[in-house]
Amino acid sequence: MKVAKTIDEIRRLVADARVGGAGLVGLVPTMGALHEGHFSLIDAAAGECDFVVVSIFVNPTQFAPNEDFSSYPRPVENDLSGCESHGVDAVFAPSAGEMYPDGFAATISVSGLTESMEGRHRPGHFDGVCTVVAKLFNIVGPDVAYFGAKDYQQSAVIRKMVADLDMPLRIAVCLTIREADGLAMSSRNAYLDDAERTQAPALYESLCLAERLIREGERTAARVIESVQSLLGEKAPLGEVDYVAIVDPDSLAAVEEIEGDVVIALAVKFPSARLIDNMFVEMKNAK
């Protein structure tokens, strides 16, 4: 496994792989602190692609001033060891100066999809995500890029960016990987203290409640949301609910009456970490 710290280095590694006969090149963009969720993406890439690149870059432009950029975990040696054990061919681990040199002034924005949920609560977040992901796509030139379904809104925004800008790659969105108690795996889970960790599975429990209500025939989104908020208040009192939303899977527009497939998404802010989760509900099997 090669580790590249500059744009020129990773481009050369990918070019050499293609000259050497690599067909599909896969990219797994990460901010490091890798866990089984990330490794599931890497495994998916390795199963489909001839050359797998993992980027490890804690992107400063997607953090608000009051967020956890400076404290975000950076266990570099563990991340590199994990990548090697999962068959990664190259890791791209640039510095902030390499990605954003002096005078950098470009930003990519995707309107519409970014204005609700995470976009409303984290202004500018998706501009930072889109800009760095577009740069990674241009730098690495992958045929397929792999993202996790836990960040549903992010994956929808990136798919829209790729479609609108005619970027020549496919976006693969892989299933959320969960702990045994249902908590979605996240690098930020490590921030939780014991009491918060005990309450955090309530996020998934509340999503399961919402799905059950819908499958049993509830069609008014407001009533489902009220039930979710009530369960979170009871089971996760240390957390502050940022939002609970029921949205159209494509437009991410809020749904009032549930008539087709929906995504239930939520964010809860614990004292030590803000967690997000979601669930896709397919209506063809509902009452």
Say which CATH number the domain at 249 has.
Answer: 3.30.1300.10
Q: Let me know if residue 144 belongs to a domain.
A: yes
Q: How many domains does the chain have?
A: 2
Model pTM?
A: 0.95
Residue 272: domain span: 187-279
**Residues 261, 59: Cα–Cα separation, whole Å:** 33
Residue from 38, 86, 121, 125 carrying the catalytic annotation:
38
CA angle, 111 then 263 then 39, to 5°: 90
Residue 191 sits in the same domain as residue 119: no
| Digit-coded pLDDT (tens) for 256-284 | 999 999 999 999 999 999 999 999 999 87
Q: Let me know if residue 79 belongs to a domain.
A: yes
Predicted pLDDT at 64: 87
Last residue of a domain, one of 174, 209, 239: 174
Q: Let me know if residue 286 belongs to a domain.
A: no
Residue 128 sits in the same domain as residue 197: no
Predicted pLDDT at 287: 60
Q: Let me know if residue 6 belongs to a domain.
A: yes
Question: Known catalytic residue: 38?
Answer: yes
Considering only CA atoms, which of 49, 54, 245 is closest in space to residue 140? Answer: 54
Residue 192 sits in the same domain as residue 170: no
Q: Let me know if residue 182 belongs to a domain.
A: no
Average per-residue pLDDT in the chain?
A: 97
Residue 110 has pLDDT above 80, yes or no: yes
Query: What's 101's domain CATH number?
Result: 3.40.50.620
Q: Let me know if residue 16 belongs to a domain.
A: yes
Residue 120 sits in the same domain as residue 157: yes
| Digit-coded pLDDT (tens) for 43-102 | 999 999 999 999 999 999 999 888 999 989 999 999 999 999 999 999 999 999 999 999
Residue 134 sits in the same domain as residue 20: yes
Question: Which residues contact residue 32 at a Cβ distance below 8 angstroms, ignoring those fewer than 6 apart?
Answer: 56, 57, 58, 73, 74, 75, 76, 79, 187
Residue 72 sits in the same domain as residue 199: no
Q: Let me know if residue 180 belongs to a domain.
A: no
**Residues 209, 215: Cα–Cα separation, whole Å:** 10
Helix 152-164 × helix 125-140 angle, to 10° = 60
Residue 138 sits in the same domain as residue 195: no
